[in-house]
Amino acid sequence: MYAHSRSRSARPPLGVAVALLGLALVACSGNDTTANAPTTATTPGTVALSIVTSPPIPTTMVPPTTEAPATTTTEVAPPVYPLTGLPVTDPAIAARPTLVVKIDNAPGARPQTGFNEADLVFEEIVNDRLTRFAMVFQSQDSDPVGPIRSGRIQDINLFGSFNHPLFAWSGGNKTVTAAVDASDLVNLSQLRVPVYFRTTDKSVPH
């Protein structure tokens, strides 16, 4: 029987091979000490700025001052008479109703009585040539007052706003009398109240 044999080359031991590889690496690296040195990249034209931060300036907080609210005193206006605006001297007089008196203004009726005491005086046209007055009393009296004459329909519109005023007049025709009775005026004609009288210094009808 024949047997074939294979020739084998000699192999160095494993430990020797590893050692040789390590020596080769050391030899390749040599003594170059700059390989692992840190490098600084410098960019041409770059200016380095140094920023200095100042310490914060302390802020002093002043607490707000609280002022006490000003005290206001409201003064109550004294009562006044409704037609003149003058201070009331007698509350009973200030509370009484207004009195409207129709006064003649024909030449034979002059001089009239009561102008200076009236709070208000109206002059009304009764025809093309004559006028009559309406004296309005509230805060003062006149004794006597006159001469007194008749009324007109226009008196209702003029004096109805005085809150049911007393209306002193010598009277009128049926139409005017009915209108006065139906209005806010309180009819105090000579036929209603016995306070009228005739003087001797003036002729009829004044």
Q: Decide if 7 is inside a domain.
A: no
Contact 126, 152 (CB under 8 A): yes
Number of domains present in the structure of the chain: 1
Q: 119 — phi, psi (to 5°)?
A: -75, -40
Q: Decide if 147 is inside a domain.
A: yes
Domain of residue 109: give its range.
91-187
Q: Decide if 48 is inside a domain.
A: no
CA–CA separation, 2 vs 124, rounded Å? Answer: 175
Q: Is the pLDDT of residue 11 over 70?
A: no
- For 205, which DSSP code? T
Q: Is the pLDDT of residue 8 over 50?
A: no
CA–CA separation, 134 vs 185, rounded Å? Answer: 14
Q: Decide if 177 is inside a domain.
A: yes
Q: From the centroid of its chain, how far is CA 102?
A: 45
- Residue found by looking up tokens 């025709």 in the block: 173
- Tens-digit pLDDT profile for residues 52-70: 556 666 666 767 777 777 7
- Average pLDDT of the segment spanning 149-164: 94
Q: Decide if 37 is inside a domain.
A: no
CA–CA separation, 22 vs 20, rounded Å? Answer: 5
Q: Decide if 133 is inside a domain.
A: yes
